[in-house]
Amino acid sequence: MEDYPRNLSELEARFSSEGACREYLFQLRWPDGYRCPRCGGAKGWPLRSVLLECGNCGYQTSVTAGTIFQGTRKPLALWFRMMWWVTNQKNGASALGRALGLGSYKTAWTWLHKLRRAMVRAGRDRLTGSVEVDETYVGGLEEGVRGRQTETKALVVIAAQEDGAGIGRIRMRCVPDASAKSLMAFVEDTVDPGSLIHTDGWPAYDSAESKGYRHRVTVLSRKKESASELLPSVHRVASLLKRWLLGTHQGAVSREHLDYYLDEFTFRFNRRTSKSRGKLFYRLVQQAVAADPVPYKRMVKCFAPADDAKHNW
């Protein structure tokens, strides 16, 4: 049974204490009862205030260990407020976390990136039916470059499930190039075999039928209509993505982190018709306890978060 607050007042009344937050995380992490992360044992008991000890192997853990909350020094109630804020903003937000009492840009940036990593559910269903697939470039103008060539811009491949005259679910990924290896790997990961793949005439998709897909090809250069008319779903999604990156994030998104922004956009787009903001909060928390912890140093790799603003490609 899905259990979540319906509005901000319910959220703050219900999750005002660490105990209430931990109990909620426990229910989402172990809906069928406690399971030891090491041996899978079903018997355990509380040890001190936050630890649980396995009755089978003696392994000690906590409800936040092995999740994006691992090692946090901030109250879980603040995390819950942040997740509510993230899922209730129509277009998301950049790392402006001082309004929530996070104190620093670095903390807000880190938390948002941890949450973006939780926005993709492991083992999520692949797209089915009729699916448009095409690529787009993200970045500024690049002189002297034509077609699918690029030196500084990022190449993003998009799959959009057709839903009558509208757009159903989408998937996106940043790929290194427009080769068959890169593009067909994306198709196989995101679209169920047997589905109809609708692409332009780019030869990288020629192996679609041998991979178990039906393949419809529209050679754009031979048509009077524009690309946005012949492949309307992916072009609409590409346009919205670029508008979102420029509007919400002012284009200051580093190439190294682009995939996680694509995950956030996908999470929001696929749930755009949901009438319950509380359910979006529920889904994010549910996925947050299933996502692996990511240390700050691993996220930033060789550059600091402030450098995001310097990667306006």
Q: Which pLDDT score, from 0 to 100, does residue 298 have?
A: 85
pLDDT at 102 over 90: no
In a domain, 295, yes or no: yes
Burial of 253 (0-12, 13-18, 19+ CB in 10 A): buried
Same domain, 149 and 297: no
Q: How many CA atoms lie within 13 A of 150 on its CB side?
A: 18
Whole-angstrom Cα Rg for the chain: 22
pLDDT band at 9 (very low <50, low <70, confident <90, very high): very high
- The percent of residues above 90 in pLDDT, for the chain, comes to 68
pLDDT band at 224 (very low <50, low <70, confident <90, very high): low
pLDDT at 11 over 60: yes
pLDDT at 305 over 50: no
- Domain around 239: 130-247
Compute the average pLDDT of residues 174-201: 97
pLDDT band at 147 (very low <50, low <70, confident <90, very high): low
pLDDT band at 209 (very low <50, low <70, confident <90, very high): very high
Same domain, 223 and 283: no
In a domain, 21, yes or no: no
Same domain, 93 and 192: no
- Mind giving me the DSSP string for the chain? -----SSHHHHHHHSSSHHHHHHHHHHHH-TTS---TTT--S-EEEETTTEEEETTT--EEETTTTSTTTT--S-HHHHHHHHHHHHHSTT---S-GGGGT--SHHHHHHHHHHHHHTSS-TTPPPB-SEEEEEEEEESS--TT--TT--SSSEEEEEEEEEETTEEEEEEEEEES-SSHHHHHHHHHHHB-TTSEEEE-S-GGGTTTGGGT-EEEE--GGG-SS-HHHHSHHHHHHHHHHHHHHHHTSTT---GGGHHHHHHHHHHHHHTTT-S-HHHHHHHHHHHHTTSPP--HHHHHTTS-GGGGGG---
Q: How many CA atoms lie within 13 A of 29 on its CB side?
A: 24
In a domain, 59, yes or no: no
Same domain, 224 and 307: no
Least confident of 184-193, 243-252, 253-262, 263-272: 243-252
Does residue 92 or residue 299 have the better pLDDT? 299
pLDDT digits (tens, 9 = 90+) for 240-258: 999 999 988 887 788 889 9
pLDDT band at 313 (very low <50, low <70, confident <90, very high): very low
pLDDT band at 295 (very low <50, low <70, confident <90, very high): confident
Name the token pair of 31.
């809906």
Same domain, 205 and 230: yes
Same domain, 112 and 6: yes
Buried b (16+ CB within 10 A) or exposed e, 132-162: bbbbbbbbeeeeeeeeeebeebbbbbbbbbb
Q: Which of 247, 267, 284 is the last residue of a domain?
A: 247
Q: Which pLDDT score, from 0 to 100, does residue 33 have?
A: 95
- Average pLDDT value for the chain: 88
Please name the residue that has the structure tokens 């178990």.
212
pLDDT band at 303 (very low <50, low <70, confident <90, very high): very low
Same domain, 77 and 161: no
Same domain, 263 and 114: yes
Least confident of 2-16, 92-106, 200-214: 92-106
Same domain, 161 and 143: yes
Name the token pair of 290.
């299933």
pLDDT digits (tens, 9 = 90+) for 24-65: 999 999 999 999 999 999 999 998 778 999 999 999 999 999
In a domain, 31, yes or no: no
Q: Which pLDDT score, from 0 to 100, does residue 232 have?
A: 93
- The percent of residues above 70 in pLDDT, for the chain, comes to 88
In a domain, 57, yes or no: no
Q: Which of 247, 265, 284 is the last residue of a domain?
A: 247
Q: Which of 247, 268, 294 is the last residue of a domain?
A: 247
Q: Which pLDDT score, from 0 to 100, does residue 151 have?
A: 56
pLDDT at 98 over 80: no
Q: Specify the number of domains making up the chain.
A: 2
In a domain, 40, yes or no: no
Does residue 147 or residue 269 have the better pLDDT? 269
In a domain, 12, yes or no: yes
Same domain, 236 and 162: yes
Q: Which CATH number covers residue 169? A: 3.30.420.10
Same domain, 231 and 307: no
Same domain, 113 and 167: no
Please name the residue that has the structure tokens 């690049």.
142
CA separation for the pair 63, 98 (Å, rounded): 27
Q: Which pLDDT score, from 0 to 100, does residue 97 have?
A: 54
Q: Which pLDDT score, from 0 to 100, does residue 253 have?
A: 86
Would you say the pTM of this structure is higher than 0.95? no
| Length of the chain in terms of residues written | 313
Burial of 226 (0-12, 13-18, 19+ CB in 10 A): exposed
In a domain, 304, yes or no: yes
Picking from 254, 69, 220, the residue whose alpha carbon sits closest to that of residue 148 is 220
Does residue 89 or residue 117 have the better pLDDT? 117
